[in-house]
Amino acid sequence: MLGHQFVTAAAIAASVLFILSLGGLSNQEKAKRAVWYGIAGMGLAVFFTMLGPGIGGYWLMVPLMLIGAAIGAVVAKKVEMTEMPQLVAALHSFVGLAAVFVGWNAEMERARVVAMRAAGESMDSLSAFAATLSHKTPAELTFLQVEVVLGVFIGAVTFTGSVIAFGKLAGKMDGKPKQFPGGHLLNAGAAALSLVLAIAYLNGAGFWTLLLIAILAFFIGWHLIMGIGGADMPVVVSMLNSYSGWAAAAIGFTLSNDLLIVTGALVGSSGAILSYIMCKAMNRKFVNVILGGFGGTSGPAAEIEGEQVSIDAGGVSSALNDADSVIIVPGYGMAVAQAQNAVSELVRKLRGAGKEVRFGIHPVAGRLPGHMNVLLAEAKVPYDIVLEMDEINDDFASTDVVIVIGSNDIVNPAAQEDPNSPIAGMPVLRVWEAKQVFVCKRGQGTGYSGIENPLFFKDNTRMFYGDARQSIDSLLPQLD
């Protein structure tokens, strides 16, 4: 086993690698290198922690690690890019549940140390963790209790919230918001009762209080995310990411693990910042989103006039051949159809014909922040033509053709034109200002969020129905 100095040095090195990884992920060209920084940091952290002072039970630890690594490898190979949002949500749930178990175990060990100290018994038979507790003062043990109760509460909320997010993102549950009668009052009541139990626990009430706190927090996480609609899922994912980070940090304090504290704080703070960015992109207050989704409408949505007019591949390809400028707006429908490679080939042919082609990416396109950027990078679309909403929104008015692939809310003019729309005030890509708009869509339904889109009924819009990949493929032979 290695000494404490080696473990500390490894923790510092791993922390630096994690920071480099987070910094690199902000740039598409550096993202692959940044991922390797993260992998190296995590490998370093696991290896030196496992060999650190006071660690034992390798006969059980090593097989479990190998089993976990094998499961992770199998899942990673099977999961498609379209399934990444629900995978992330599932992984968040593991962190939350781990925090709950660590908190419970820490309390049992703390109670054992306190009882042995009171009885004047020898501490020689204690585990490595309990042995460290035996050297703490009563004030330090009380502070440990604060860490435990926070870890259990945050971890439990994260666990059930992430499970529900997984179910909604995977389509295994209805994406519409649902709550019990009383809604937010139930959540507030459960949180208040958790606080009362936490105070009782800190005053010596016993282990049963932690069990009840976990049960109440499980309910809060479940009920909270059940009450959030599918359209808010990008914010929910980043919010749960933040929760899992703070849960990990709480575990780090409990275990006196500096690396876990740093890593948890990095994840928690970055997730919180990302949640704020997502809310800003939707013109929503973070608290309003997590307490009930969009909401806030004052009346019925405006009636939509006109009809959806369809067009075939010949009509779309003719417009593209005549166009000088084209903007492509991808959404989750492109991910579902796995159409990114077909889109990349379309871009190659159009640019080869001398046309200006760019992408417009909304901050909440898809079901995970950066979802569309990752798909396009995977298909080798040049980074320099992939632009964010604020960079490209003013250019739609001078654009000949816009192709919308599987998007709904992020191109919905009702956000600006209808104050009673569920997405009123949300910044959107103003695609309707272009000369012609073609929408690749499977059918006439309202999509995942259930919100009708007046764009589909406008005079300059044509609906290009069908599977997105097959639709784009059908255009390629007809382009000049």
> What pLDDT, in 10s, does the model give residues 331-383?
988 988 889 999 999 999 999 999 999 999 998 887 777 788 888 988 889 98
55 assigned to some structural domain = yes
Sign, CA torsion 77/407/312/399: negative
Res 302: pLDDT: 60
Asked which of 78, 101, 126 is the last residue of a domain, the reply is 78
Query: What's the length of the chain?
Result: 480
1-10, 354-363, 438-447: range with lowest mean pLDDT? 1-10
Q: What's the whole-number average pLDDT of the chain? A: 85
User: Residue 360 pairs with which residues in a beta bridge?
Assistant: 387
287-339: per-residue pLDDT in tens?
A: 766 665 444 444 555 667 778 899 999 999 999 999 999 999 999 889 888 89
Nearest-10 crossing angle of helices 313-322, 468-475: 60
Instruction: Say if residue 158 is in the same domain as residue 266.
Output: yes
Instruction: Say if residue 150 is in the same domain as residue 222.
Output: yes
**Separation between Cα atoms, residue 126 and residue 132, nearest integer Å:** 9
| More confident: 147 or 234 | 147
35 assigned to some structural domain = yes
Q: Which of 22-26, 77-81, 177-181, 219-223 has the highest mean pLDDT?
A: 219-223
DSSP letters along 320-372, please?
HHH-SEEEEEE-HHHHHHT-HHHHHHHHHHHHHTT-EEEEEE-TT-TTSTTHH
User: Residue 436 pairs with which residues in a beta bridge?
Assistant: 401
Instruction: Say if residue 346 is in the same domain as residue 388.
Output: yes
Res 293: pLDDT: 47
235 assigned to some structural domain = yes
Instruction: Give the long-range contacts of residues 130-139, CB within 8 A, separation 24 or more.
Output: 131/54, 132/54, 132/256, 133/109
Instruction: Note whether 460 and 437 are within 8 A (CB).
Output: yes
Displacement of CA 28 from its chain's centroid (Å): 18
Domain CATH for 456: 3.40.50.1220
115 assigned to some structural domain = yes
Displacement of CA 146 from its chain's centroid (Å): 28
For residue 64, how many other CB atoms are within 10 A of its CB? Answer: 10
User: Which residue in the block uniquely carries the two structure tokens 């990949």?
Assistant: 469
Asked which of 47, 78, 109 is the last residue of a domain, the reply is 78
Instruction: Say if residue 4 is in the same domain as residue 104.
Output: no
- pLDDT at 170 > cutoff 60: yes
Instruction: Say if residue 33 is in the same domain as residue 135.
Output: no
Percent of the chain clearing pLDDT 70 (strictly above): 91
What is the pLDDT averaged over residues 162-177?
82
pTM: 0.79
Nearest to 253 by CA among 334, 352, 154: 154
**Separation between Cα atoms, residue 432 and residue 413, nearest integer Å:** 8
Residue 258 catalytic? no
Instruction: Note whether 21 and 37 are within 8 A (CB).
Output: yes
116 assigned to some structural domain = yes
Which residue range(s) make up the domain with 35? 1-78
308 assigned to some structural domain = no
238 assigned to some structural domain = yes
Res 255: pLDDT: 83
Asked which of 237, 259, 290 is the last residue of a domain, the reply is 290
86-141: per-residue pLDDT in tens?
A: 888 888 899 999 999 999 999 998 888 888 888 877 776 677 777 778 778 888 88
| Contacts of residue 388, Cβ cutoff 8 Å, sequence gap at least 6 | 361, 363
283 assigned to some structural domain = yes
Instruction: Say if residue 254 is in the same domain as residue 141.
Output: yes
Residues 409-440 as b or e (16 or more Cβ within 10 Å = b): bbbbbbbbebeebbbbebbbbbbbbbebbbbb
Instruction: Say if residue 38 is in the same domain as residue 103.
Output: no
Displacement of CA 37 from its chain's centroid (Å): 21
Instruction: Say if residue 51 is in the same domain as residue 192.
Output: no
Instruction: Say if residue 226 is in the same domain as residue 259.
Output: yes
Percent of the chain clearing pLDDT 90 (strictly above): 41
18-67: per-residue pLDDT in tens?
A: 999 988 877 667 778 888 999 999 999 888 888 776 677 788 888 999 99
Res 289: pLDDT: 65
**Counted domains in the chain:** 3
Instruction: Say if residue 164 is in the same domain as residue 21.
Output: no
| Helices (H) then strands (E): counts for the chain | 18, 6
Distances (CA, A) of 467 to 332, 334, 439, 447, 479: 13, 9, 12, 14, 19
Instruction: Say if residue 324 is in the same domain as residue 201.
Output: no
What is the pLDDT averaged over residues 431-436?
96
Which of the residues 232, 322, 324, 409 is marked catalytic? Answer: 409
pLDDT band at residue 409 using 50, 70 and 90 as cut-offs: confident
- pLDDT at 152 > cutoff 80: yes
- Locate all alpha helices (DSSP H) within 25-176, ordered by sequence: 31-50, 58-78, 84-119, 128-134, 138-169
Res 279: pLDDT: 80
Instruction: Say if residue 150 is in the same domain as residue 262.
Output: yes
Instruction: Note whether 437 and 404 are within 8 A (CB).
Output: yes
